[in-house]
Amino acid sequence: MYDKKIAYFSMGSGIYNDLLTYGGGLEILAGDMIKEVMDNQKLYPITFFHILWKKGYSLQRVNERGEVTDHEPQGNAWEKYLVDTGKEVEVSIFGKPVAVKIWKLKNGPVYYLDTDMEKNGEFCNITHFLYGGAWDQPEKERIAQEIVLGIGGVRAIDALGLHIDGYHYNDGHPAFVGLELISQRMKFYQATEPNMTEDERFQRAWRHVKERTAFTTHTNVPAGNESHSVDLLMEVGANAGLTHAQLERIGGNPFGMTVASLRLASMANGVSRLQVMAAKDMWHWVDGAPNFIAITNGVHPGTWWNPNIKKAFEAKDIHGVYGAHEECKAELINEIKMRTGVQLRQGSMLIAFARRATEYKRWNLIFREKARFEYLIKNYDLQIVFTGKAHRHDTSGKGYISEIYHLSKQYPNNVVFLEGYNIELAQKLVAGADVWLNNPRVPLEACGTSGMKAAMNGTLNVSTLDGWWREAAYHGVNGFNIGNGEFGSNFQDENDAKALMHVLKYEVLPAYENKPVWMGMMFASIMTAKQYSTGRMVEEYFVNLYNYLKS
């Protein structure tokens, strides 16, 4: 057992399909990490803090005109999983007190923060929607949510009487944790060493907090690293008692949540080796930032590895793995028929593309070479199913979903879009698809854990050499590469589209038609995925990250 007790902060977590506190990969990763810790509670002393999103993330629908609309999801079964601790803390929003109720996961060291109480009046809805949607001023809503997570989270630790040695921020959203810790430490110095100047207290408190803080960065896309004016942070109440000038010293002005997290941490990691290289280049100018190390993400086998495929693999039964996969494929085809009315074919290759809808993930890359795509449909009956969501305020992301919807009408028997992407649907896709398509623009993918889940089930990755796949790929052995991993060209999209069509026609489809070859690759894929589990990931966090934090 490791003896350093860690508090891990994340905006949400995807633990159970009907506990709607997740939106995308960031929260699913946190959920997988939680389940690994729950499996080994005596080994890994981590306590998790999230927000209880009473109304969850947005449910996106596509109407007959292809317009994407956001709806309130139904079926959030949080009461089934959580118990009331009987504890509350208080934060200040716009100078007004807001009560934060603390809930606990029944079977794990996970606490949820909740403002949805009548006495909070206009602020009861802060914790309604993950990443916002209740206020008509989304930036202020986001800051208020991060106040609840960061400042409220630290105060929850005190209220619960927990002993914590180190603090871990999952992305930049929890940066206000550091502000509250600094503020508390400054008050301690003021009481115990009254002769210290204000600046000495601030510097010493900052150093004390930094030595006990770790930070994980997930995105190399500038739009994914939020910032706010210091004046606005002061107005909403995110400063935790620190001055305007002190906030500027920590996060700049505008106050960058990632910049602040880097300056507040003594250890930082990226989630794949390539992502670390990109992050170092992106944040090289941040003075006071720690060096980045790579801890490639992992996925929770108990959640994502289909039991029948697992059983056959562990029996070293290659034919059994293939047979179990074919059963999963039949289930997926039935699910698609039930949801859309489209009847896909068991004997034709089925490609899955499940991603957040954003520009760099290139939802439409496979259609860029239209004539060649139509050739593959006509001659090989190629089938492809898309699913995913865009952020609520990302109109361009919703545009990609709309484009795929219209293409599904143009190719009604070969292209399908599925609404309502969630954990349950993801489990069916990673086990039932033949190919997992991932074509982000290199080097913008952080990791791509969904590809690990697919590989774990023998679903072969066809991917650009980005994120985890750059580390794991053996072309033609455990999957297939799109292109050679080069980036920076003005013709990158054009080159990758041609490379995708080439590898599908001349390598992927011929391998699929040669069942002994395909079955061998499926087995190799599962062998590869075994290295990318949450067990390995959490172990690396303790050995390579938390081990270097001061207690």
Give dist(CA 502, CA 521) in Å, integer.
19
pTM: 0.97
Please give the pLDDT value at position 488. 85
Closest C-alpha among 127, 180, 175, 172 to residue 151? 180
Give dist(CA 146, CA 173) in Å, integer.
6
Same domain, 120 and 222: yes
Q: Which residues, at least 6 apart from 378, have a Cβ–Cβ distance to it below 8 Å? A: none
Helices then strands, each counted (H, E), the chain: 21, 19
Please give the pLDDT value at position 474. 98
Same domain, 10 and 58: yes
Number of domains in the chain: 2
Q: What is the pLDDT along the chain (551 residues), one digit of tens a residue?
A: 899 999 999 999 999 999 999 999 999 999 999 999 999 999 999 999 999 999 999 999 999 999 999 999 999 999 999 999 999 999 999 999 999 999 999 999 999 999 999 999 999 999 999 999 999 999 999 999 999 999 999 999 999 999 999 999 999 999 999 999 999 999 999 999 999 999 999 999 999 999 999 999 998 887 779 999 999 999 999 999 999 999 999 999 999 999 999 999 999 999 999 999 999 999 999 999 999 999 999 999 999 999 999 999 999 999 999 999 999 999 999 999 999 999 999 999 999 999 999 999 999 999 999 999 999 999 999 999 999 999 988 999 999 999 999 999 999 999 999 999 999 999 999 999 999 999 999 999 999 999 999 999 999 999 999 999 999 999 999 999 999 998 888 899 999 999 999 999 999 999 999 999 999 999 999 999 999 999 999 999 999 999 999 98
The answer to whether the peptide bond before residue 440 is cis (omega within 30 degrees of 0) is: no
On whether residue 267 sits in a domain, the answer given is yes
Please give the pLDDT value at position 1. 80
Same domain, 317 and 175: no
∠ Cα 354 487 433 (to 5°): 20
Give dist(CA 518, CA 231) in Å, integer.
59
422, amino acid identity: N
Cα–Cα distance list, 90 to 87, 243, 541 (Å): 10, 20, 31
Partner residues linked to 69 by β-bridges = 61
Secondary structure element (H or E) that encloses residue 184, with its range:
helix 176-192
Spatial contact of 194 and 201, defined as CB atoms under 8 Å apart: no
Give dist(CA 124, CA 94) in Å, integer.
14
Spatial contact of 408 and 432, defined as CB atoms under 8 Å apart: no
On whether residue 334 sits in a domain, the answer given is yes
215 lies in which domain range? 6-298+536-548
Same domain, 77 and 136: yes
Spatial contact of 275 and 447, defined as CB atoms under 8 Å apart: yes
Residue 145 CA neighbour count, 13 Å, CB half? 28
* Tokens 């390995």, located at residue: 536
Give dist(CA 171, CA 535) in Å, integer.
20
Same domain, 312 and 257: no
Helix axes 492-503, 370-380, angle to 10 degrees: 10
Same domain, 101 and 238: yes
Please give the pLDDT value at position 174. 98
Please give the pLDDT value at position 220. 85
Same domain, 262 and 315: no
Closest C-alpha among 254, 265, 311, 356 to residue 458? 311
- R_g over Cα of the chain: 24
Q: Which residues, at least 6 apart from 502, have a Cβ–Cβ distance to it below 8 Å? A: none
On whether residue 1 sits in a domain, the answer given is no
Same domain, 459 and 542: no
Give dist(CA 188, CA 195) in Å, integer.
13
On whether residue 195 sits in a domain, the answer given is yes
Please give the pLDDT value at position 221. 82
Same domain, 426 and 488: yes
The answer to whether the peptide bond before residue 73 is cis (omega within 30 degrees of 0) is: no
Question: Quick one: tokens of 65?
Answer: 């005109």
What CATH number did the domain enclosing 508 receive? 3.40.50.2000
Closest C-alpha among 404, 385, 366, 378 to residue 504? 366
Give dist(CA 420, CA 18) in Å, integer.
12
On whether residue 381 sits in a domain, the answer given is yes
Same domain, 310 and 285: no
Q: How far is CA 506 from the centre of its chain?
A: 33
Same domain, 188 and 43: yes
Region of residue 135 (phi > 0: left; psi between -120 and 50: alpha; otherwise: beta): beta
Spatial contact of 408 and 415, defined as CB atoms under 8 Å apart: yes
Residue 499 CA neighbour count, 13 Å, CB half? 18
Cα–Cα distance list, 183 to 208, 241, 255, 488 (Å): 11, 6, 17, 43
On whether residue 211 sits in a domain, the answer given is yes
Same domain, 69 and 197: yes
- Collapse the DSSP code of 267 into the 3-class scheme (helix H, G, I; strand E, B; otherwise coil) and give the result: strand
Cα–Cα distance list, 64 to 240, 386, 409, 474 (Å): 48, 17, 10, 42
